Structures are given as structure tokens and as C-alpha cells.
Structure 1
Amino acid sequence: MNNQTNSNYLIPLMFVGMLFLLLGFALGINGLLIPFLQKGLSLSNADSYLVLTATFSAFVVLGYPSGMLVKALGYKKGIIISFVVFAIGLYLFIPSAKYESLPLFLIASFVSGAANTLLQAAVNPYITILGPINSAAKRMSIMVISNRAGWAIAPIFLALFIDLSQANVRLSDMYLPFYIIIGVFVLLGIGTGFAPLPEMKAEGEGEEREGAESAKIESIDPSKKHIWQFPHLLLGMVTLFFYVGVDTLALVSPVDFANTLGLDNPERYTMHTVVATSVGCVLGIILIPRYISQLVILQIGSLTGLLFSFLIVLLPPQVAIHFVSLVSFAISLVWGAVWPLAIARLGNLTKTGASVLVMAIVGGAILPLCFGWLKDVTLDIQRAYWLFVPALLFIVFYAFKGYKIGLEKEPEAFGV
């Protein structure tokens, strides 16, 4: 890529990075407020599972329609609509707290999940094709770092309004923070409308929208008319399903693991995972593609993650707990590396294929439920980590074989 082309993508990339930072900030506040809201509504464990179902079901129910909407309107308008829907969903949490209404809380959770589904369907493929396809994982890593920075700022900001150490926070105390994040999403929508974001399209996509710039993703096979005819895409979805599930567990389970072992300051083990993921992303930014390709990173990371998964269940628990965060480090670049491989050669079906990949985020709900079931059955949280092994095995399979199944030529041949 020449310097002029680099500069063409630098401004949009910086703007999208800012969007990810603000998105992480808003969702970080939301993530901190929701537990207080759930407690204020006196939700039972069963009710909490309903909330989880309402949030993640949106990815399955609306994943494909979101891709069709992005295909019809373009990435930029898809992003704008997602921010508006986010604002609506977050606003609905306020009357749900005021009237202590579980049904309204579930509706708000589903609407927020729908907004996140649409945003993921628009932003992820956009970042993937915003520049050389062989450095897509690098751009994804930049977005992850930006998003995590926003999450880190959120509790500091929220502490200005609410004492997060209090066991009981009045529901009325949460109204102002909710109004603030609603305002952030409205401003994000307005800002995106005026942002210099070119309407990207993969090579082989239709020319119906003027002004769309092309990314070097190989043209679609004329004999294939539907996304279900691309095994590498469907296998990519399953890969991301397992990745999101393992990544979520690596973030949320160490506290429980540490409590089981009676370790001091169990919350610090979650911070270990956050730091490990961030370090992995920084290395991706530095190394890809100048020193190593994103495919090789995927292969090395998945094999290393598999090794660490075995060590979690085989080593003494006081040592094994540290390998949970190391699994997160090993697979930190899986999301960014799988996307360009999975949408390779989709051409005119790129946006629709992206919606299939977004549906994989439901793994963040299903695998933790499986983990909890294994923990209850075995009465040993360390044994529950055996769940990581088949998940990582599938990621290894995709990294070495699955990404090229059904393709006439391997993605490396055109820059992935």
C-alpha cells in the first residue's frame, strides 16, 4: 500500500477507533449499572438467566436481518442506526427501574442486544476491508485496545455519581448516568453521520452504490449464490462461537476460581486477563503484517492456547489459575484473524456473511452456561476448564484446515 492510500484510510481508522473508545465507555457504564439495577429489582437467579437470554438471543434472531440491512443501506448508515437503537434500548432501562418492571427490563435488554448485533454486523466487516486485507487483524487489535480503554475509563467516571462500593444503590441514583450514556450514543450517531467514512465494498460486490471504495477480497465464485455454500464461512462462525465463549470465561471465571482456592483479592485475576488480552493486541499491532502474517499468528495462538488449556486442568490449582489469563493472551488475536479468512471470496455476499459471523457472539452466553453445568456436575471448577480443550481444538482445526475448505485457492494467494 502506498503512502497516499495509507493516508486515505488513516482518518477513517482513527475515527472508528474513537467510536470504539466511546462505545467501550458507554457499554462499560452500562455493564456497571445493570447489576445494580438487577439487584434493585430483586431479580432471582432464574430472572437473571432470562436477562442473559434476552440480551444474547438478539444475536441469533437478528444477526441475519442485520446483515441484510447493512447490505441494503451500507456500513455507515448501519452504524448510525445501531447507535440510535442503542439510545432507545438504554432509555427503556429507566422506566423499567422506575416502575420495577421485569418485562420492560427484558425488552430493554433485547433492544440493546439488537443494537449491538447491528453494530457488530456493520463495524467488523468494515474494519476488515478498510485497508489491506492482510493487516485486518492489526486494525482489529487497534479497535480492541480502544474499546478496552473506554471500559477502563467507565468506572472512574461513574464513581463521580455513584459509590460503587455500596451494597445498596438507589435506583434513582442511576437515572443521570443512564441519561449521560444515552446522550453519548446520540452524539455518536450524529458524529458518524458527518464522519469521513468511505462506503467500502469487497471486490465482487455490486456497483449499485456510487462512491464505494473497493477492498482486495477475491471475487465470489459465480457458481455459488448463497452464503451456506461457503464452508469456510460457516466453520469460521463456529470458530468464533468457541472463541467468544472461551474469551468470556477467561474474563469472568477467574474470580470464582480464586474464591474457591481462598486466594486474596480474587478480582485481580480478572485484571490479569484484561492485561493479557491487551498485551496480545499490542503485539498484533506491532508484528502484523510486517514480521508475521495474521494466519501464522492464528495458528501459533490457537496451538499455544490449547497447550495452556491442558495445563489449567493438569497443574496444581494454585498454579493453574494463572494459565487462564494466558489462554486469553494466546487467543487474543483470533477474532481479528478469523474475520478476513471467513469472509474471503464472498464478494457480493460479504455483508450477509458478516451477519452470520456476528451470530457467533451467542457463544459468550452458551459456553458459560455449559461451564457452570460442568462445575456443578464435577463439584470442581478446575475440571470444568476441560471445556476449553474441545473449543481450542476446533480453533486449531480452522487455523490449519478449516479456513480453506471449499475454496479453489487458499486465502494466502490473495493476501490474507
Structure 2
Amino acid sequence: MRTPHARPLAVLTSLFFMWGLITSLNDILVPHLKAMFSLSYVQAMLVQFCFFTAYFFVSLPAGWLMQKIGYQRGLIIGLCTVGVGCLLFYPAASLRAYPFFLGALFVLAAGITLLQVAANPYVTLLGKPETASSRLNLTQAFNSLGATLGPLVGAVTILGAADHAAAAVSDASSVQGPYLVLAALLFVLAGAVALFRLPDVRSGQGAASAAQAEGSIWSVRHLVLGAVGIFCYVGAEVSTGSFLVSLMSAPPIAGLSHAAAGKYLALYWGAAMVGRFIGSALMQKLRASVVLAGAAVINALLIGMAISVGGPAAMWALLLTGLFNSIMFPTLFSLALEGLGALTSKGSGVLCMAIVGGAIVPLLQAGLADHLSLLFSFVVPLLCYLFIAYYGLRGHKPQAVGLPRAKTDAIAQPA
């Protein structure tokens, strides 16, 4: 049955797909730029640092911008900003300047942050509240599809071109073509969004909640621990994806070419897409917190096995962690916001800023990789999953201190 918002949802779904693809391309850029500029692991991981730092700095201003100009204009500005970031890859490659690449990535990520801040709530508001979760899961599935195809596209167009060059370090132009194509697609998509008459779903509800929420958000224990969980999850997922190509290329593990390893990386993101549907079915019968804790424990065990065993088994164990990553972000997000009432909007802002874990955790792992070994460095995401397991078992339980009472306008003040 056709819904009245089918067209706007189709447009938004295409946005989720595009930023999933672009984000997962970073996992291809890391080994490529590392070879091109002869970087250490820490230096190469500045790719993820610059990308995910944008979430920390842009999330709150983006929320303010959406309130001022509306979701549709916000989506157009976000798409154009991502397009400009993609265009900046051309001069960065021509000048062979690593700082220029990092600046281009920050601009690109700032645009994706705008898209995230606009598109996620927009999807939930386009239709009945009771089906909001279903709509968001559908669009997120297409985000996972984009993330699955990103490494395949990058393996062929970027790593494949570098592998066929005389030396990867001399091949800067292999990134220009793919990002020019992406820029063109993004500008076309921005034009399409501008032509659509998308409904303006802004209301005074957000402002009212903000006015009511006088309590300190930092006094809500399960929210703060949930933000740490989001930090750990995004950090572990990004860090694992960033190092997998280098690990699979190592002779003691699998000895694959970068191009071949990039294609295997698609399994990591594809497993996350499959896991989203499996996890959704499991949560019909089991508590979300139990599923979260179980997935985190399994990932910790898989990484522990990879470090202990090594060889091709380590590669497959780490690729399999993508399957159990799938349900973590939405589950952490919902558990952390449970019972917040009028503080929900503030809580969402805190959780979005915690995505900066994708910038910090890979750098920590890179430090271990440079000074100890690449395989052993996966102990960093292992520790992240142990914290997530704790949150699923105990840390998610709401505390009374600082929480507003449901169905009242009064906000409980911290004692």
C-alpha cells in the first residue's frame, strides 16, 4: 500500500545509501594514502580522525541550523557540502599534499553530519509515530548497502589502479576520478531534493522540550554510560574496518593484494547489513539489552581468537565481527534515551557527539600497531566491546537521579 510520504522517503533513502558508501570508502583511503605518502599507522589514521572529528564540532551547530532553515534546505546544504569535499580531492591529489586530503575529508564529513542531523529525525517524522522505528530501520538498511558497496567500488577504482601502477606511491590520480563522479552524483541529488516539495515537519515540540529540560543532562547515569558505549562502538567498528585491509595484506595473515583485500572488506560491511535483519527478529523475542550484551561478548571472543590464532583464521574472525556490530548503534541509542522525557533532545545531542569515537579509537589502535604489532593492536576494539557488554548487562538501567518524570512538565532537579 502506497504511503503519502513514499516519494520523500525514497529521496531520503538514497541519501542514506550515498553517505554509507562514502563513509566506507575511508577504509580504502587509509591503506592507499599510507602507501602513497609512506605514512606510519598513526599518520594514516588521521584520515578517520579528521572525518569523525567533524561529528563532534558540527552536530550541535547543525541541529541549530535545521531549526532555522528546515530539514529540506538542510539536506540541500549538506549534499552540496559533501560534493565540495569530494571536489577537493582533485587538487589534493594533483598537489600530492596529505594535509589537503585531510582538509577535504573534514569538509566532506561536515556535510555528512548535516545530512545525518537532518535525515534521521526527518524519517521518523514522515508518518505515524508507531511506525517510525520501522521506517528508520529500512533507510538504515540502505545505508548498510552503501557501506557494503563502498569497499568494492574503492577496491576496483582506487586500490586496483594503484596496484597496476608502476608504484602505488606514484599514483595519486587514482582517487580523482571516483570522487569527481561522487561529486557529480551529489550535486544532481541536491538538485532533485530542491525540486521535490518535501513536507515541512518542523514543530514547536523540540523548543518546548528544550525549555522544559532544566536538569543537568550529565546527571543521568545511563545516558552518560550510553554515550561512552556509542564512543566505543563507533570507534571499534571504524578501527576494525580501517585496519582490515592492511592486516589481510600481511603475509602471516593472508598475503592478499590491497585490491583483493578491499573486496573482502565488503564482507565486513555486508555482514552488518544482514545482521540488522537478524537482530530485528531476535528483539521480537529477547530484550534489546540482552541481544546487545550477547553480540558484544561474541565480538570480544572473536577478536581474542584472532589475536591468539593468527593466520587466515584471524582474518575471518575479524570479518565476522561485522555481523554482530549491526544491532549495536541503534540499540545503544535507544537504551541510552530510555525514560529521558523532556531531556531526550539534549540526550540525542550528547550521543551524536560521542560518534567522535571513530576519530579517537583508531588513533589508539594505530599507536599499538606502530609500537607492538598490527594483530595485537586489535586488543583496543576488544576492550571497547567489553564495555558495551557491561552496558547491555547493567549500565543501561535507568537511574532515578536527574530524570524527568514521564507525562509531566516538571523536571526532577538533582539533589
* 1:263 and 2:263 are equivalent in the alignment: no
Indicate the residue corresponding to 1:205 in structure 2. 206
**2:141 — aligned with what?**
142
Q: Does 1:402 align with 2:374?
A: no
Is 109-118 or 306-315 further displaced after alignment?
A: 306-315
Deviation at 1:196, TM superposition (A): 6.0
Aligned partner of residue 405 in structure 1, secondary structure: coil
Match for 2:82: what amino acid?
Answer: F
* Equivalent of residue 112 in structure 1, options 105, 108, 118: 108
> What is the CA distance between 1:298 and its match in structure 2?
2.3
CA distance in 2, matches of 1:253, 1:127: 33
Percent identity, please.
26
Structure 2 unaligned blocks of 5 or more = 408-415
Q: How many residues align?
A: 393
Give per-residue Cα distances to partners, 1:15-47, cap 9 Å, x unaligned.
32222223345556787678767876x475476
CA change 1:229–1:196 in 2 (3 A) is: farther
**What is the RMSD of the two structures over their aligned residues, measured on CA atoms?**
4.1
1:391 corresponds in structure 2 to 384
CA deviation string 1:346-381 (max 9, x = no partner): 56665554343232332223222222323444x344
What is the alpha-carbon distance in structure 2 between the residues aligned to residue 261 and residue 274 of structure 1? 24
Aligned to 2:233: 243
Q: Distance in 1 between matches of 2:48 and 2:329?
A: 22
- Inter-CA distance 82–349: structure 2 relative to 1 (3 Å threshold): farther
Task: Measure, in 1, the Cα distance between the counterparts of 2:402 and 2:218.
Answer: 19
Which among 201, 222, 233 is matched to residue 232 of structure 1?
222
The structural deviation recorded for 1:280 is 0.9
What's the TM-score, normalizing by structure 2? 0.75
Give the 5 Å matches for 1:12-411: 12-25=8-21, 42=37, 44-45=39-40, 48=44, 51-101=47-97, 104-127=100-123, 131=129, 132=131, 135=134, 138-139=137-138, 141-148=140-147, 150-151=149-150, 154-155=153-154, 158=157, 165-166=164-165, 167=167, 175-195=176-196, 197-200=198-201, 204-206=205-207, 222=212, 224-225=214-215, 227-258=217-248, 259=250, 261-265=252-256, 267=261, 270-284=265-279, 287=281, 290=284, 294-315=288-309, 319-344=313-338, 350=344, 352-377=346-371, 379-406=372-399
Instruction: Give, as a single letter, the amino acid of the residue that structure 1 aligns with 2:365.
Output: F
Normalising by the residue count of structure 1, what TM-score does the alignment of the two structures yield?
0.75
The change in CA–CA distance for 1:338 and 1:23 in structure 2 (over 3 A counts) is: same
Check conservation: 2:219, 2:401, Cα contact below 8 A: no
Which amino acid in the other structure matches residue 115 of structure 1? G
Q: In the alignment, is the contact (CA less than 8 A) between 2:45 and 2:362 conserved in 1?
A: no
Could you tell me whether the CA contact under 8 Å between 1:25 and 1:151 is conserved in 2?
A: yes
Distance 1:165 1:294, change over 3 A: farther
CA shift for structure 1 position 163? 7.3
C-alpha distance in structure 2 between counterparts of 1:26 and 1:49, whole Å? 17
Cα-to-partner distance string for 1:201-246 (whole Å, 9 max, x where unaligned): 7995347xxxxxxxxxxx7894645544544333222111111121
Quote the residue 1:213 is aligned against.
none
- CA–CA separation in structure 1 for the residues paired with 2:171 and 2:313: 41
| In 1: Cα distance, 2:373 partner to 2:146 partner | 34
Provide structure 1 residue ranges, at least 5 long, that are not aligned to the other structure: 208-218
**1:261 counterpart SS class:** coil
Q: Do the aligned residues in 2 keep the contact of 1:141 with 1:282 (CA within 8 Å)?
A: no
